[in-house]
Structure 1
């Protein structure tokens, strides 16, 4: 019977370990005299008292550990990788913020090319700064045939970008009779700026610093693979006895 309540009995102080052997303590001997039902009740009560004596932090850690144990291995691995990438994105963003504006513009072009825009890196790089418009930093082809163009503004800013800056960019697009644009910043955008781009005819994408860093990781720009792990599963076909 005690086999099923070993933990309760230990935490209640009824079982003690001496030189590798579990034995009944004096309180354990007293509890035995209560009979089966009384013993189980004493174990449960003792465990409850022990739990109340533990600091809340330790109890939380125990709950978290149990929750982790209950999560499937693949989901746990994905969660760990996501956390690693989030931390890496923060490191990337810190480095990018310290780079020169020219380097930042080149980084943006390299990322867009990796994502499938602008054809080759050399062709894409030549269009940066050509427009001469204060609201546009560069133009990149949407496809390799150059059937449509995407206008870029890349700002290595610390402050949050507000609606006025986005309106200025949209005005520059309209001056070029352009329909698509990407505004990229190392900081973030105000709620008003985000709402503004949803109510205009031009297609404008706002990319903040964290989104930029995540896309750099996804497309292997400015990062390298540190380690590769193989996740294996049972090959059911192998075990077929023909």
Structure 2
């Protein structure tokens, strides 16, 4: 038989992780046997030529299971079933797909909701699973949003794993890629890790260095929001440097009080949360690379227009 879709693979993949598998590569031979997939079918590559259909669909099954909280990834390339996942399997489920996963709060939130601070990044994903009324362009747009959202989550996971110094350097790399300092490495600097006075980096606003932007970076877990006291200390540091512009970056988010406070201070301060930081990394190719490109062509009416 041909390679099943990723939703069909969800339940077998979850059972394999319950049996002790730790990554998708270890699952592929078992999936081949369970679904009677031939070697030729298992080796068939996606149009990009970089991954097999079987591997790709199994990886997406694992990704969706993770978004529902049924799997956990303590480190890159290593996955394990959670207590929630084991409890689900204990119910002897007959099927597992996106509709079933909607019962889990984490998955439902990931698929269909966004925080207010994320609303400028993309529109919410459709709540329904019936795609029969979608145009091909609609389907491509929805798929692009899912891929983009998943990549942002992956980036945030990696950002929490890097060292504090590496995180601060990454922020400078993003701002440089956006055009600050004229994109020149010489126009951005890190301050010492200790005794930095609440400032982690400085980057010129333009190639001539007519003004500088001061940076504070906090690598916080998602549930640990940056509050007003952190912003007040940053403002104090800017005042001590006679600085007028600052960017406060965190992998988590900012409290309502923090947002309200920056509207009242003399300095111009931009608050950059984790989701927005990850989106900027994607847009400016920092820590990511293009895997494949889809080209959509249409009829050139002008070519066929008679003189």
Whether the TM-score (by the shorter chain) exceeds 0.5 is yes
Distance change in 2, residues 1:108/1:197 (3 Å)? same
Q: What is the aligned partner in structure 2 of residue 129 from structure 1?
A: 191
Look up the SS of the partner of 1:172 in the other structure: helix
RMSD: 2.2
- State yes or no: 1:110 paired with 2:173: yes
TM-score computed with the length of structure 1 as normaliser: 0.69
**Are the aligned partners of 2:213 and 2:247 in contact in 1 as well (CA < 8 Å)?**
yes
CA drift at 1:74: 2.3
Do 1:133 and 1:172's aligned partners in 2 also have CA atoms closer than 8 Å? no
Q: 1:157 to 1:108 in 2, by over 3 A?
A: same
- For structure 1, list consecutive stretches of 5 or more residues without a partner in the other structure: 1-56
Match of 1:188 in 2: 253
TM-score (norm. length: structure 2):
0.55
* 1:130 to partner: Cα distance: 6.0
- The correspondence for 2:153, drawn from 78, 86, 90, is 90
Distance 2:151 2:213 in 1: 28
C-alpha change, 1:130 and 1:139, in structure 2 (3 Å) is farther
- Asked if 2 retains the 8 angstrom alpha-carbon contact of 1:109 and 1:124, the reply is no
Larger Rg: 1
Structure 2 distance, partners of 1:64, 1:110, is: 39
1:120 positional shift = 4.2
Match of 2:78 in 1: none
User: Per-residue deviation at 1:157?
Assistant: 1.8
Provide Cα deviations, 1:45-72, integer angstroms capped at 9, x if missing partner.
Answer: xxxxxxxxxxxx79xxxx742xx33334
Match of 1:23 in 2: none
Contact 2:176–2:185 (8 Å) recurs in 1 = no
**Match of residue 145 from structure 1:** 208
| Mapped partners of 2:196, 2:155: distance in 1 | 29
1:153-232 counterparts in 2 under 5 A?
Answer: 153-158=216-221, 159-232=224-297
Partners of 2:171 and 2:191 in 1: how far apart? 13
Q: Structure 1 residues 95 and 71, CA, compared in 2 at 3 Å: closer, same or farther? A: same
Gap runs ≥5 in structure 2? 1-98, 101-127
Distance 1:103 1:221 in 2: 13
- Per-residue CA deviation, residues 103-130 of structure 1 (Å, 9 max, x unaligned), is 11111111000000023443134x2106
Secondary structure of 2:214's aligned partner: strand
